[in-house]
Chains A and B, each alone.
Chain A
């Protein structure tokens, strides 16, 4: 007896439909309502190839053969969608003991599939949402970090500006004070000078004797020198209003003239050499202050590391279209650990340094004069180089 007859008896009134096919894949039997699971537009009849009715079996000839030979007992194709809206499980069994037929069983699982579909839909949507959420979180964290960096950077800039303003105000106050001292000193100096002139004229006869004339001339020279010095101080601390052409050699000479006595007292030699005719464009008084800062740093370095033959050399030279001022000392150099941050605010190699001077100096040269200020260690010490655009 064919097993398909048993199937027919069992499944006739249930949710199952079936085909029975032979070794040539021709339909030899089928249940009454199996047509509902077949491809549309194909009339159902026996002796036609099963692949016309059940395209899902296309390419599975090998598996069907193995079922016929009894090498496999069952194949399940789960949840196959069928127009208009059925889902079926297709189970394929060996048909009879002689290996002559195969039974293809359709199990209507539409309800189960619909439940499954809504569960899968929910799970997938949740997974997509979670992924999106996690990406947004990463993005949010990145924005947050960027924002914090921006705030930190702005705070740093503000602090820097504030310090710069404080220092400029200090320079300005110092300038005013120098101006007042100059004013106060100029009158007595003029008076001394005048008295010396008058005395010299009135007592020409006595003066001819020699020594006294020399002394009066000395008084006049000294008063003139003091007058010149207070003028220089006044000029030095007055901020430059406009960018002008200025001679680097002469400008550096003025600075050295003002500070040379103090350095001499500390046994530090100052030496200026190089090109005397180079002209730069910028703010000469700010440039003076940068040179002064570099000289002071070298002096302080010697203070912490005193030695024989303390020396600061200033070399003015050309480099392509640029003018360069090298300030080089033999005070032992800058600690390499802080070299990369030496111009940063509050970074100092001195035990009592504020970490402001070099930062402000760099700003003055780079932001205000579009130049460059760099530092490096050389043999026995440090060298700072100011690079400015040379003008004809």
Chain B
């Protein structure tokens, strides 16, 4: 089975840990507990083309004074850039994280994730889908709280990693 290093990056409190928890354990908690350093989880991702052993890195969120530690991205096969739809500045920082990926892991495939869509109305979601999501090659709306789009997002990334890296 092929192992792939998947790193989740983004501003603090955008829901990186919650997305992993939803994907790996199918659990969710509303309590915010900030991540320090990094925590690695494992999850097998079954695709039609085979199974991928995901080593999922939950990296401490970046802040204005403390950017994400680039060493965690060394050797990443895939990255998930997470932003919070309720906090505009986290969406504005997506481009910064894309630059970091290009500099540290140029071969990594990445996906942009707008999390917490459970806070939006259906029409707001449609608007996001037709505007913001079109800016990025691969982007998804997710809710770690409801589970919406989470599994599909990880599977899409794994599929793209398999396609491009084998």
Q: Which residues of A contact B (CB under 8 A)?
A: 55-56, 58-63, 75-81, 87, 113, 116-117, 120-121, 123-125, 127-128, 131
Are the CB atoms of A124 and B37 closer together than 8 Å? Answer: no
Stretch in B28-36, B93-101, B117-125, B138-146 with 4+ CB within 8 Å of A? B28-36
Q: Is B110 positioned at the interface, with any CB of A under 8 Å from its CB?
A: no
Q: What's the nearest-Cβ distance from chain A to residue B3, in Å? A: 6
Closest residue of B by beta carbon distance from A120:
B34
Please determine whether B37 and A60 come into contact, CB atoms closer than 8 angstroms. Answer: no
B55–A124 contact, CB under 8 A?
A: no
Please determine whether A75 and B12 come into contact, CB atoms closer than 8 angstroms. no
Q: Cβ of B55: which chain A residues have Cβ within 8 Å of it?
A: 55, 58
Q: Which of B43-51, B74-82, B128-136, B152-160 contacts A (4 or more CB under 8 A)?
A: B74-82
CA distance A38 to B116 in the complex (A): 34
Indicate if B18 sits at the interface (CB-CB under 8 A). Answer: no
B127 in contact (CB, < 8 A): no
Q: Quick check: A77 and B40 within 8 Å, CB to CB?
A: no
B26 at the interface (CB under 8 A from A): no
B42 touches A55 (CB 8 A): yes
Given A58-B55, A59-B5, do A116 and B42 touch, yes or no (CB 8 Å)?
Answer: no
15 contacts between A and B (CB under 8 A): A55-B40, A56-B38, A58-B5, A59-B77, A61-B75, A62-B75, A78-B69, A79-B37, A80-B37, A80-B38, A80-B40, A81-B36, A81-B37, A124-B12, A128-B13
- Among A76, A81, A87, residue most surrounded by chain B Cβ atoms (within 10 Å): A81
Which residues in B have their C-beta under 8 angstroms from that of A63? 74-75
The 5 residue pairs across chains A and B that have the minimum distance between CB atoms: A79-B37, A59-B75, A81-B39, A117-B36, A59-B5
Query: Closest Cβ of chain B: how far from A169's Cβ, in Å?
Result: 51
- The count of residues in chain B whose C-beta lies closer than 8 Å to any C-beta of chain A is 25
Q: How far is the CB of A85 from chain B (nearest CB, A)?
A: 11
Partner pick for B37 among A55, A78, A121, A123, CB 8 A cutoff: A78
Interface centre among A61, A78, A116, A125 (most CB of B within 10 A): A78
Contacts of B76 in A (CB 8 A): 59
Output the least CB separation between A356 and chain B (Å). 46
Tell whether B87 is near chain A: CB-to-CB under 8 Å: yes
* Chain B nearest Cβ from A197, distance in angstroms: 84
> B5–A81 contact, CB under 8 A?
no
Contact of A60 among B32, B61, B75 (CB under 8 A): B75
In the complex, chain B residues whose CB is within 8 Å of the CB of A76? 71
Contacting residue for B38 out of A81, A117, A120, A127, CB 8 A: A81
Partner of A87, one of B13, B34, B36, B72: B36
B38-A121 in contact (CB<8A): no
In angstroms, Cα B37 to Cα A87, docked, is 9
In the complex, which residues of chain B have a beta carbon less than 8 angstroms from the beta carbon of A117? 34, 36
A55 to B41, CA, bound (A): 10
Evaluate contact between A58 and B37: CB separation under 8 angstroms.
no
* In the complex, chain B residues whose CB is within 8 Å of the CB of A75: 71
Q: Give the distance in Å from the alpha carbon of A58 to the alpha carbon of B3 in the complex.
A: 9
Q: Given that A58-B55, A61-B75, A63-B74 are known contacts, is A116 also in contact with B36, CB under 8 Å in the complex? A: yes
A380→B36 CA distance, assembly (Å): 80
Shortest distance from the beta carbon of A206 to any chain B beta carbon, whole Å: 97
Partner of A113, one of B3, B12, B37, B74: B37
Q: A81-B39, A128-B13 are known contacts. Are A58 and B34 too (CB-CB below 8 A)? A: no
